[in-house]
Amino acid sequence: MKLVILDRDGVINHDSDQFIKSPEEWLPLPGSLEAIARLTQWGYRVVVATNQSGIGRGLFDMSALNAIHDKMIKAVALAGGRIDSIFFCPHAADSTCECRKPRPGMLREVAMRYNVDLKGVPALGDSLRDLQAAAAVGAQPILVLTGKGAKTHDHPDLPRETLVFPDLAAAAAYLAA
C-alpha cells in the first residue's frame, strides 16, 4: 500500500493566524485539490494529519471541524480525488498530549490504523512541527513552501533529510516519478 500523509492548513488550504473556524474560511490553495486527485489516481491512500488547537482554545467546536472537513472531502472528490482518513489533535498548544505535532503520537496512530511502517512514507507539511513529527517516526519529511513553509525553510532545526517543493502539486509530481 502506498500512503501519503498531508498536513491541512498551509498545505491543502490557505492558513490563518486566526485559525480556520468555519467552512466559509476553508479555501483550497491553487492546485492542491488536483494534486490530491493525482495522488489518488497514482494509487496513494491520502491521509490528513492536522493539529487543530482552536478546539482546545474554544475558538470552534467539533461540529465546525466536521463541517470544514466535509467541505474539504467534497472539494477533493469533485476534483477526482479521495481523502482516506483525517487524524487531528484537538488539544491546545500547551497540552502535554502525545498527538500534537511535533510529538509523533498522531502519526503512530496512522501507522496503527493502516498497519504500516511509516519508514520512508512521504509526510508533507509547511511547519517545523510537521517535519519533526515525520522524522520522529522515520517518515520522509517534505516541506512545501506554501503557508508557513517559506519561513520554515530557513529554520536551523529543519530535519536534514527534508525534501523541499514549492507546493503540494510539485511534491505530488515528484512522488509520481
Cβ atoms 166, 144 nearer than 8 A = yes
**Which one of the listed residues 9, 15, 126, 167 is annotated catalytic?**
9
Q: Which residues contact 104 (CB under 8 A, 6 or more apart)?
A: 98, 133, 136, 137
Residue 74 C-alpha cell reads as 467534497
Sheet holding 140-144, edge to edge: 85-89, 44-51, 2-6, 122-125, 140-144, 163-165
Instruction: Give the integer Cα–Cα distance in Å for 83 and 70.
Output: 11
Nearest to 122 by CA among 101, 100, 144: 144
7 classed as catalytic: yes
Q: Which residues pair with 51 in a beta bridge?
A: 89
Q: Which residues are catalytic?
A: 7, 9
